[in-house]
Structure 1
Amino acid sequence: MTAYTPSVDETRDQAPDEGGPHAERRRTGDGPGRASAWLVFLLPTLAAAACVLPGLGGRQLWRDEHATWWASSLSWHDLGRLIDNIDVVFTPYYASMHLWIAVAGDSPAALRLPGALAMAVSAGLVGLLGRRMFAVRTGLLAGLLFAVVPAITRYGQEARPYAFATLFALLATLLLMRALDKPSLRTWTLYALAIAATGFSHLVAMSVLAGHLWLVFLAKKRGDRIAHYAFAGAALLGLSITFPMVAQGTGQSGQIAWNVTTTKDLTSFPENLFGSWITGGAVMALGVIGLLVAGRYSVLLAAWAVLPPVLTFVTANQLHLFLPRYLLFTIPAWTLLVAAALTRLVGRLDPEARRGTGVQVVGGVLVAAVAAGYAFVAWPGIGDAKKDLPMEPDYRAAANVIADGEKSGDGMIFNGGMSERRAMAYELRDRKAPEDVLMEWTPQQNGSYGASECKKPDRCLKGVDRLWLVSTISDGRPLLTGMNEKTADAIEKSFKAGRTVKLNHVVVQVLERK
């Protein structure tokens, strides 16, 4: 199996981005080619790390991150029971985080560090991909733009698997391009494993394979007679590795049925995907222009950037997968398109087409100016991404209120539907917490995230003189609204309301026995 090398006559008629007969050797070999590879990888990686790592533990965890902590902190036996009932698609992530927590602990910064590093490396991979597709300056600009997108900071600072889905989608694309250029059993096997890793990170990210089909089509068109067979074998291997998880996950799809998509979700998609309207609108507008100049890679990038949102939107009522964070892996395609459009302004994307140093200097200035300008515009969004989510309850402050006023023998109860019990378990994990007096069956016993409360609340409340109520009910009646009627009657009969502390979307109330 040998890579196809165009003749001199063929290269004379190539599109600007196709590259000459020595372009691949120059970009991937030793000497200046290797130096440029390190350049386009390291600068975006460092830029992304500079955005993501500062303040990594500042923003408090929100409910999905509490789920990560809870599942990853379980014993292997209890984790197995959990994923047998729910969240089987996150099994590899939870298992990895279980091992990570054993080493690094479970502080907010420690929980988020793996994702932050994955996002930083993703920026470097964007740079390498742009360099391989187009030119060094194109890759460098694409990687730097990716690094300063506010959503990259937001989800780089999140203990969820979306950064890994982005990382492995990029890695799979790079490995496919290498396998098509320099075929070998090792490279195709690595590509298959990258596909599996992408699926294990998030199933939606596997839609990147649609764009991969185009690269295989181009290879076959160039005369590679077995590329499509090798691709089919590698893709089937990768898919077969993830199939058991996918098969079991289809039976748990009801857990995301809450995600009902509306037209407003579509119109606000650019803002929610990129982190702000100005950054999302600018990238998508220039990205459309990039489709016109991306040459043979336009179909790949279009399929990567556009197809996943379209497919998840049209199937939203059935699959409920149209969520911006599920589609984070499409941002690299958009930044590559923007970089292709902008670098085209100063000449052909093929580095061998340049003559002299003048164009190179102009290109370097362009990369620096655009990256700096976009970073300046995106900076407020990056700052906002590090703040507590405005619609999430302030459980950290609630925990402080309880820890400061808790006395021996106190109990704690919960009301609302915002995972109050799990959140308070995290925030009070290293402090003495009041007993969860109404919990009869633990989440571990249920094989779920939720506990079962006492069917005879009078019995469970016996001997408790003071309760801490943590409620996310905001209608002024934190105890009664939404609570089990029998439980509410038992509490009202025996307890009276005392001190009440109202925080962001959560109320802490002391209930004292009458």
Structure 2
Amino acid sequence: MTAYTPPAADATAEREPATGTRSERRRAGAAAGDGPAGSAWLAFLLPALVALACVVPGLGDRQLWRDEHATWWASSLSWHDLGLLIDHIDVVFTPYYAAMHLWIMVAGDSPAMLRVPEAAATAVSAGLIGLVGRRMFAVRTGLLAGLLFAVVPSVTRYGQEARPYAFATMFALLATLLLLRALDRPGLKPWTLYALAVAATGFSHLVAMSVLAGHLWLVVLAKRRGDRIAGYAFAGAVLLGLSITFPMVAQGSGQSGQIAWNVTTTKDLTDFPETLFGSWTTGALVMGLGLIGLLAARRYAVLLAAWAVLPPVLTFLTANQLHLFLPRYLLFTIPAWTLLVAAGVTRLAGRLEPGARRGAGPQVLGAVLVTAVVAGYAYVAWPGIADAKKDLPTEPDYRAAADVVAAGQRSGDGMVFNGGMSERRAMAYELRDRKAPKDVLMEWTPQQNGGYGATECSRPARCLTGVDRIWLVSSIADGRPPLTGMNEKTAALLEKDFKAVRTVKLNHVLVRVLERA
């Protein structure tokens, strides 16, 4: 077995997994750690703080959208009702909903508090990119990659969203870092931690498990360098991680119909850089520079390419069967792109720094180049970050609708819903701390149905007996009649026995007051 030889003293030199005797691996691990512990703290903290600075301001300003309403609804259920829900739908989000249930018990369910865990996961992800880049290449490579990640507009967008995508990114990065450490310093503990990180990645989002394809390349590199146990240890750790998540995956395969609405077209593919990164400019810059960075990544090029490219390619090719080609499902690929960009930029900066004997000028020039890349990209990305904090333009303005209802309701009023934008759940959230009109058409609650949807009265005349004033909340607000698509019996009864006395048109939602004629 050959001993590991540290790379040359180059600011951009890649770190290799160590082989050889225990003492040799320990010395090589110190080299792979790239300097004193202070550099690790720097590589982690600076990107994490910048990510927090982007994500935390305005954390609760943007109103929740339909998927976040689902998070609130599921996470606010009793444990019994949550069990009924995941038995029918969203079993793949069970760990996330359970964790959010505990969080809501402690922190409450305001928009800001619902998003604090995701904001924290985003900051940790930026820091982990710094550590991964430091271990693969050098401290400033990790710093640059983490800082670029922190100012990607979509990172802010999903760092301010109560959904598990930021956690999928964080655990995919953690698994990568732990694998690098396990290959540097093999042992039961490092490989066990890696197996747990694999399981956590699967629990956060199944698509993120595709990062394992890139991990396999690291194991191939280790075997080429004489590590005889890397393949066996990797296989055992992955099998352990998969076995932990297998029950959830098995049950979730029977619930795949819940995302059958996601029909992918060629336009979705051409728009992918924009939707993944938050704007065309930032997406084109990162992907373009990332492709160039493949030439600088050297032995890690296959890992980063597989991490960045393989998941979107696979999900697009299987879109008609699995319906998983959604940019938010692929947020975890952004770190691979920023690592590629950082590898290319710092490699170029290293070319500008041929050695200390030539004086400080070239070193300063290289540092200026790295700083300029971060500053320039932040300047280009800033408008996208600001847009990411705004209400989604295609989502109904339920917050304003709830304000209209709360301000104008009277005792004995009822409320009915129409449309396909989760109106009942959204209004339940927006009116959760205020007295709301009775949901007069609901015969079976979502909890009783073990899902997100209620069952409405089969005999609406009976349910509307004694109700003389109704609030209609309809997402059919594009010029069509607001009762379009409603149950025929209910729509006919409302049109016959009630008349509209007030109509308020909001963004993609209409609020109408109906009084019995």
Short-chain TM bin: over 0.9
TM-score between both structures, scaled by the size of structure 2:
0.95
Contact preservation (8 Å) 2:349, 2:367: no
Which residue pairs with 1:196 in the alignment? 199
Give the CA deviation at 1:26: 4.2
Contact preservation (8 Å) 1:68, 1:159: yes
Separation in 1, partners of 2:184, 2:41: 20
Give the CA deviation at 1:291: 0.7
Separation in 2, partners of 1:164, 1:353: 41
Give the letter for the 2:4 counterpart: P
Separation in 2, partners of 1:46, 1:382: 16
The alignment partner of 2:391 has SS state of coil
Contact preservation (8 Å) 1:17, 1:348: no
Query: How far does the alpha carbon of each residue in 1:89-146 deviate from its partner, in whole angstroms, 9 at most, with x for none?
Result: 0000000000000000000000000000000110010011111111111111000000
Please, which moves more after superposition, 427-436 or 360-369? 360-369
Which residue pairs with 1:299 in the alignment? 302
Which residue pairs with 2:21 in the alignment? none
Q: How many equivalent pairs are there?
A: 507
Give the CA deviation at 1:250: 0.3
Match status 1:17 vs 2:14 = yes
Match status 1:428 vs 2:426 = no
The alignment partner of 1:502 has SS state of strand
Contact preservation (8 Å) 2:13, 2:138: no
Separation in 1, partners of 2:443, 2:504: 27
One of 452, 462, 465 as aligned partner of 2:465: 462
Match status 1:76 vs 2:76 = no
Query: How far does the alpha carbon of each residue in 1:130-165 deviate from its partner, in whole angstroms, 9 at most, with x for none?
Result: 111111111110000000000000000000000000
Equivalent runs, 1:331-480 vs 2, <5 Å: 331-347=334-350, 357-480=360-483
Contact preservation (8 Å) 2:223, 2:230: yes
Give the letter for the 1:17 counterpart: E
The alignment partner of 2:395 has SS state of coil
Give the CA deviation at 1:11: 6.7
- Structure 2 runs not aligned, ≥5 long: 19-23
Give the CA deviation at 1:70: 0.1
Match status 1:214 vs 2:217 = yes
Contact preservation (8 Å) 2:55, 2:156: yes
Separation in 2, partners of 1:406, 1:372: 51
Separation in 1, partners of 2:510, 2:136: 54
Which residue pairs with 1:156 in the alignment? 159
Which residue pairs with 1:106 in the alignment? 109
Contact preservation (8 Å) 2:43, 2:127: yes
Contact preservation (8 Å) 2:118, 2:167: yes
Give the letter for the 2:134 counterpart: R
Which residue pairs with 2:287 in the alignment? 284
Give the letter for the 1:337 counterpart: L
One of 314, 326, 329 as aligned partner of 2:329: 326
The alignment partner of 2:62 has SS state of coil
Give the letter for the 1:233 counterpart: G
Separation in 2, partners of 1:261, 1:395: 28
Give the CA deviation at 1:362: 2.8
Q: Percent identity of the aligned residues?
A: 78
Contact preservation (8 Å) 1:396, 1:427: yes
Contact preservation (8 Å) 2:482, 2:510: no
Q: CA RMSD in A?
A: 2.1
Separation in 2, partners of 1:254, 1:120: 33
Which residue pairs with 1:46 in the alignment? 49
Separation in 2, partners of 1:358, 1:222: 38
Give the letter for the 2:395 counterpart: E
Give the CA deviation at 1:24: 4.2
Separation in 2, partners of 1:130, 1:406: 57
Separation in 1, partners of 2:193, 2:91: 24
Give the CA deviation at 1:347: 1.8
Give the CA deviation at 1:38: 0.8
The alignment partner of 2:486 has SS state of coil
Give the CA deviation at 1:493: 1.8
Separation in 1, partners of 2:484, 2:211: 45
Give the CA deviation at 1:449: 0.2
